[in-house]
Amino acid sequence: MQAELRGSVPKLPFSYAKTLINRAWRHVRESHLWSFNLFQSSLVTPPLVSSGTVTTTQGLSTVTFDSVALAALNASESITSLVTQRQFRPGAYPGIAGIYSIIAFDPIGGVATLDRPMDDATATGTSYSVYQAYYVPPMQDFLTWLSVRNLSWSNSLDLTMTRQELDTKDPQRSLYSTPSAIVALGTDQRGAGTPTPSATLNYPMFELWGQPVAPYTYQCYGIRRGTELVNPTDTIAPQVGQSCVMAKARQYAYEWAEANKDMSPRSQGPDFRFLMAQAEAEYKKDLIMYRRQDKEFVDNYYYIHGLTGERIYHYDTIAATAGPS
């Protein structure tokens, strides 16, 4: 694709051709809801760990678990939820102390490093809670959720609750129950600037509410932005013809050529403005065609996964909780 674009504008720098192709590819990706940007994943909430005790010191970012707590934490770790993905709260469960993220954990010595110094009071041999309240999607180019469902209770989480609404409803995060909402938290900054940064640093992060302390699996459907072409062997999605991306890239290349052409009368070449208009017309024609071809796949995705009539409200007769309330 770089060689083809360079052939359209011979003086175009080869390295700049890659920039223009990726710019065109992003324009195509964001011009339509493409089937290749729909994804399916899952979230798994680990069980609450509160056995044993912990020693904390106000102002320090490390806490020390006793042997009982250490054994319980080691036994609870799994592929779907590492201890370093979970949150820590000092005090007896259910508590309203501060929520800290664990960014490092010594499975032998029992020392955990938190994402910030302890604001809560110093305590020796006190109760604690370790569970996972914060989650990241499986890719950094995540755009939005379409559905997050608890498969055990057959309820769908509220995707519309804002941070302000949640802080008004439950500022201390004192409600421990089957989660009824997933709320945007920002970007993952756990361990930023430390020797043990999060493996998903700068990914979008979300909070499950109420506080999830029981093991459940959530089926997730969502939309991603798509990624750029990086390696020479990378290819665009088959749902989009290469001609569509290249037409938009040529439009950008002709714009560059028009801005950088030699103004000497003896060096007058083609009028790149007309070529820009021709490339744009070709791009629009191809885009309409590939959009139409892909629309059926998108419609089928929504229909097959039951996303056309997504349920937002639910009532859990066992936990006696409703959401959103």
Residue-wise pLDDT for 101-149, tens only, equals 999 999 999 999 999 999 999 999 999 999 999 999 999 999 999 999 9
pLDDT reported for residue 97: 93
Q: What's the number of CA atoms in the CB half-sphere (13 Å) around residue 256?
A: 19
State how far Cα 226 lies from the chain centre: 12
Residue-wise pLDDT for 215-243, tens only, equals 999 999 999 999 999 998 999 999 999 99
Q: How far apart are CA 76 and CA 251, in angstroms?
A: 55
pLDDT reported for residue 154: 81
pLDDT reported for residue 318: 42
pLDDT reported for residue 315: 44
Domain ranges of the chain: 2-36+228-304, 47-131
Cβ burial of 266 (10 Å; 0-12, 13-18, 19+) is exposed
Write the CA distances from 173 to 23, 95, 164, 176, 218, integer angstroms: 43, 9, 13, 8, 21
pLDDT reported for residue 80: 86
**What single string gives the DSSP state of each residue in 188-235?**
--TTTTSSS--TTTTSEEEEEESB--S-EEEEEEEEE------STT--
**Parts of the chain with a pLDDT under 70:** 263-269, 308-325
Q: How far apart are CA 29 and CA 227, in angstroms?
A: 9
pLDDT reported for residue 153: 85
Per-residue tokens: 96: 């309203």
Q: How far apart are CA 306 and CA 288, in angstroms?
A: 27
Q: How far apart are CA 88 and CA 103, in angstroms?
A: 10
Cβ burial of 246 (10 Å; 0-12, 13-18, 19+) is buried
Write the CA distances from 307 to 78, 91, 184, 221, integer angstroms: 30, 41, 21, 9
Alpha helix positions (H), the chain? 2-8, 14-29, 67-76, 163-169, 242-260, 272-304
